[in-house]
Amino acid sequence: MAADSEVSVLPISFPVRFVVAVSLLIAPFSPQPESEVFEITDFTTASEWERFISKIEEVLNDWKLIGISSGKPLEKGVYTTGTWEEKSDEISFADFKFSITHHYLVQEHSDKDGKEELVEDALPLPMQDLLCMNNDFPPRAHCLVRWYGLREFVVIAPAANNDAVLSESKCNLLLSSVSIALGNTGCQVPLFVQIHHKWRRMYVGECQGPGVRTDFEMVHLRKVPNQYNYLSGLLDIFKSKIGCPLTPLPPVSMAIRLTYVLQDWQQYFWPQQPPDIDALVGGEVGGLEFGKLPLGACEDPISELHLATTWPHLSEGTIVENDVYSDLDPIQAPQWSVRVRKADNPQCLLGDFLTEFFKLCRRKESTDEILGRSAFEEEGKEVADITHALSKLTEPAPVPIHKLSVTNMVHSAKKKIRKHRGVDESPLNNEVLNTILLFLFPDAAEKLADGFESRTNTSSGNNPPPESEDYNLFSQFKSAPSDSLTYKLALCLCMINFYHGGVKGVAHLWQEFVLEMRYRWENNYLIPGLANGPPDLRCCLLHQKLQMLNCCIERKKARDEGKRGSMSDRSPGGTSGDAGKGADHSGDNPDKEKEFGKSWESWSDSEEEFFECLSDTEDLKGNGHENGKKGGAKEGNKEPVNLKPEGRLHPHGKLTLLHPGEPLYIPITQEPAPMTEDLLEEQSEVLAKLGTSAEGAHLRARMQSACLLSDMESFKAANPGCCLEDFVRWYSPRDYIEEEVVDEKGNIVIKGELSARMKIPSNMWVEAWETAKPVPARRQKRLFDDTREAEKVLHYLAVQKPADLARHLLPCIIHAAVLKVKEEEALEDISSVKKIIKQIISHSSKVLRFPNPEDKKLEEIIAQIMSVEAVIARARSLKAKFGVEKCENEEEKEDLQRFVNCLLEQPEVSVVGAGRGPAGSIIHKLFLNAQRVSAVPPLDEDLRRSGPAEERRPNTGGAADFPPPAGREVILRTTVPRPAPYSKPLPQRMYSVLTREDFRLAGAFSADTTFF
């Protein structure tokens, strides 16, 4: 359609209008009821055209647009603050489909019932709206609203996007249909038809009232005829269109808006530099260090600033603008408003980090596949084959292994060897790797020789305090606490993925990490950065696995040290020390769990009693069974009294044994096995599979009685001569029922017995009690096989692909990203961002809590975070441009800050004080600077481009400070009688907009139809 671009086909007025005289066209919905009932009406021969018209009428009826439109005069700015709605339907002319849409401003119906006195010959509301000046140039509105100031209208447009009504006769036919439909129904809402290609936004339409009609006409041109460049020319065409017979003409009122565009922000360089990758190893350059996520845009997220200078109400004659002179100096304009154009998808760092990390989730290669080739050439087994890691560590290493830091040294040594050979293909260089390992395992640095600068946990200071809302985010996201190893690992992997070798780097770091885990397990070094105790099921599975490994290390370490300790203990003290030991431990043992990991020396000896010897447990089991039976047969289940008490934790305090009357001791017991959620899942499945039958329930109870049995054995060992009643009083106090009984002497004594359910013959408790041998916990069979569990975890870790890893850690990354935007938002204080962050948190906690969340939902979350980042970046950009920080006057600074925030959240913001206010003068300066820079070279070019019309554009006043306006909008309004001098005076309006590549006139001309 570029061919017809020179001059629009459509003339300003329609030369011929069909005179409608179709007798058959009796509208079935016409408000006047048919008077003659007997007359047969024949629609059988109705044409497509007639059917089309009746369809329009039907729709208008359905939407209740018939009759007099009522409403209050429009308030100022209501087009922006109010809500607009639309209703659509489809109608067709023969087989050509149109959509018909009603656009309207939602209005309160306060006067619905009152039906305020309708003034006899009041003008239809739309005609009144034509003259209303309260909503000129609305910032966001349908174009017809902007052009004609209407509060409601109906548009008929081709339904398909590429359909168009092109020929003039078809256009006229459509317009005639509209005219007939309006006439038949008495609808007062303006009805438009869209003609020509959709992108041209050409509409013609009509509005009818009693004895009045307004025609909406339009001209759209590529190139503007010279005379329409200025106000004078526009006034001329407006007057000639009205063709008013009166002299002198009533005055024309004018509203003018000139819009200026600022594109280059000369000296305001975008403040954020791309981060310097090389400097990263050193540490904290550009806000990027391991353990942190970056934030900010790499390019200016604000691309343009549009300044609209408005003269809202001028009367004709007070101002002159023609090709040689202009009164319209933008600085003098009474109203300024600004909008900013945002860069569409500004490249932002955090967003890029997230997206790239998320892409990892879709990789299919395994760690070996990724690293295999490069490692293959050299020491393949050393790097690629994790299963050999164990042997590698036990091999004589170049450095002695007694220091924790050695692991790092070994890794770097390995790399160095490779470097000497001249082939360094490992994705991560030594420095980066070492920095990361030190960051992840700060305990290695603590024990390191002075050679290295000791960089301990620098980031710990930034973590939110425990118990705070931010800190507990991990339980909502199922990630990991922000000070945990898992969280830090996630951040490091994210960073490496982005800057240091992508998936290869990730695979490499992961391999090193797994090696480190193995090393720590083999050498009894606890893993730092993990909460003590069993796996926290609120965290991600990977975190649980690491915690599990730590539990194993803890137990192994205790056992190993116990062995060593008891061996040295045994020789001097022998058995005589045992009794005393029990008493000693009563004091310090309760605290031991809490002190875990604080100091190894302080607690290791207290654990020495554990699991001394497995083999004699087996022995005891064999014997014990018989013994138990015998013991059970004797009443009271009494054990031989001569047994020495073993494995006492501390006296119960209140209770004494029923029979010997000795204090009841609480035994040292085995801790139950820690479990990760996948193990739990497995186990509950096993338990559930046993079914709901009585046998199933029994089997289930038996499977779980190991712990009960172990406790009973410990109890027996600690309390020689005890009975089940004693045990129950400690273990399930409510199952020992005490009653006050008056004995034969009349004294009140307390008599106790087991509850009924404990007395059921051969119930599981009794059974277990009979089986239980007095064996202290340390000699019992382990309930938790730490070696097996540790190997299972290590294997699990080793087989994780980079994609698995990314899926495991994505919640941590999202968690970190949310904390990051939250932190940055706090500096800017943008209320809309606060709201979105809240939404992100609640959305993510829903999505991330379930296993294997859908990719689409994850993408949504990432997109939300990115949008928040963009808003923050925009806020910063605007702040820098408007020099908010530099402003010294506190009050002005606050005003500026508010102004900047409004720019972010509202489509258009008015400038207080226009060109003379603080914001205004900054904007003025921005333009001035841009003008100065561009003033020198592009003069020729400018002339060529703008053509002869602009060449002669006046160069007065503000023209030097501002570029030529990118848009000129003028609204001309008046009320004159048409078509004859004695007709009713009616509103006339013409809107014109002129931009660089487009000129449009939109006229609404009303005429009295009573005698015409």
Partner 1 sequence: MDEDVLTTLKILIIGESGVGKSSLLLRFTDDTFDPELAATIGVDFKVKTISVDGNKAKLAIWDTAGQERFRTLTPSYYRGAQGVILVYDVTRRDTFVKLDNWLNELETYCTRNDIVKMLVGNKIDKENRDVDRNEGLKFARKHSMLFIEASAKTCDGVQCAFEELVEKIIQTPGLWESESQNRGVKLSSKEEGYGGGGACGGYCSML
Q: Nearest CA to 499 among 283, 351, 815, 280? A: 280
Structure token pair of residue 608: 């020495």
Contact 463, 505 (CB under 8 A): no
**Chain centre distance of CA 637:** 65
Interface with partner 1 includes 893 (CB under 8 A)?
no
If DSSP codes are grouped into helix, strand and coil, which group holds residue 16?
coil
CA 531, distance to chain mean position in Å, is 28
Q: Which stretch binds partner 1 (CB under 8 A): 579-587, 615-623, 656-664, 750-758?
A: 750-758
Residue 644 burial (CB < 10 Å; 0-12/13-18/19+)?
A: exposed
Asked if 716 touches partner 1 (CB under 8 A), the answer is: no
Q: Is there binding between residue 139 and partner 1 (CB under 8 A)? A: yes
776 vs 53: CA distance, rounded Å: 98
CB of 681 to partner 1, least distance (A): 8
Structure tokens at 167: 């020929």
Q: How far is the CB of 227 from partner 1 (least distance, A)?
A: 22
Which residues touch 643 (CB under 8 Å, ≥6 apart)?
717, 720, 721, 774
Counting beta carbons within 10 angstroms of the beta carbon of residue 908, is it exposed (0 to 12), middle (13 to 18) or buried (19 or more)? middle
- For partner 1, the closer of residues 289 and 969 by Cβ is 969
In the list 215, 512, 677, 770, the residue contacting partner 1 (rule: CB under 8 A) is 677
Binding of partner 1 by 883 (CB under 8 A): no
481, 815 Cβ separation under 8 angstroms = no
Least distance to partner 1 from the beta carbon of 867, Å?
Answer: 13
Of 112 and 856, CB closest to partner 1: 856
When the beta carbons of 688 and 827 are compared against partner 1, the nearer one is 688
Nearer to partner 1, 452 or 850 (CB): 850
Q: Which stretch binds partner 1 (CB under 8 A): 342-350, 571-579, 878-886, 961-969?
A: 961-969
Query: Taking CB under 8 A as the rule, does residue 162 contact partner 1?
Result: no
| Inter-residue contact 256 to 314 (CB < 8 Å) | yes
Could you say which residues in the range 513-572 bind partner 1, by CB under 8 A? 537-538
CB of 772 to partner 1, least distance (A): 14
Instruction: Report which of 236, 300, 297 is spatially closest to residue 268, judged by C-alpha positions.
Output: 300
Q: Please, which of residues 969-1008 interact with partner 1 by CB under 8 A?
A: 969, 993, 995
Under the binding rule (CB under 8 A), the answer on residue 704 touching partner 1 is yes
How many residues bind partner 1 (CB under 8 A)? The answer is 64
Q: Which amino acid is it at 26?
A: I
What is d(CA 261, CA 400) in angstroms, rounded to the nearest whole number? 70
51 part of the interface to partner 1, by CB under 8 A: no
Cα 761 to Cα 486: distance, rounded to the nearest angstrom:
51
Phi, psi of 411 (to 5 degrees): -60, -45
User: What gap in Å lies between CA 884 and CA 447, rounded to an integer?
Assistant: 48
Candidate list 129, 321, 711, 828; residue touching partner 1; CB under 8 A: 711
Does 306 participate in binding partner 1 (rule CB under 8 A)? Answer: yes
Nearer to partner 1 by Cβ, of 94 and 703: the residue is 703
Dihedral sign from CA coordinates of 26, 27, 28, 31:
negative
d(CA 203, CA 150): 14
Give the footprint of partner 1 on residues 469-488 (CB under 8 A): 476, 478
User: In this complex, which beta carbon is closest to partner 1, that of residue 153 or of residue 358?
Assistant: 153
Is residue 700 at the binding interface for partner 1, with CB under 8 A as the rule?
yes
Do the Cβ atoms of 747 and 703 come closer than 8 Å?
Answer: no
* Closer Cβ to partner 1, 103 or 415, answer by number: 103
Contact 655, 664 (CB under 8 A): yes
Write down the least CB distance from residue 337 to partner 1, Å.
12
Residue 805 is a binding residue for partner 1 (CB under 8 A): no
Residue 261 is a binding residue for partner 1 (CB under 8 A) = yes
Q: Using the minimum distance from each CB to partner 1, give the nearer residue, 342 or 363.
A: 342
Question: Which x/- pattern over 317-356 shows residues binding partner 1 (rule: CB under 8 A)?
Answer: ----------------------x-----------------
Query: Closest distance between partner 1 and the C-beta of residue 720, in Å?
Result: 21
Stretch that binds partner 1, among 137-145, 583-591, 880-888, 945-953 (CB under 8 A): 137-145
- Least distance in angstroms from the C-beta of 424 to partner 1: 45
Measured in degrees and rounded to the nearest 5, phi and psi for residue 246 equal -80, 145
Cα distance between residue 945 and residue 779, in whole Å:
96
- Residues 201-260 close enough to bind partner 1 by CB under 8 A: 201, 259
Cα-Cα-Cα-Cα dihedral sign, residues 176, 177, 182, 184: positive
DSSP state of 127: H
3-state class of 750 per DSSP? strand
Burial class (CB in 10 A: 0-12, 13-18, 19+), 921: middle
Task: Tell me, residue by residue from 808 to 847, as one string, x for binding to partner 1 by CB under 8 A and - for no binding.
Answer: --------------------------------------x-
Site for partner 1 in 598-637 (CB under 8 A): none
Residues that bind partner 1 (CB under 8 A): 83-86, 101, 103, 139-143, 146-147, 155, 157, 201, 259, 261, 306, 339, 476, 478, 537-538, 671-672, 675, 677, 680, 684, 687-688, 690, 692, 697, 700-701, 703-705, 707-708, 711, 731-732, 734-735, 755-758, 760, 763-765, 846, 849-850, 907, 966-967, 969, 993, 995
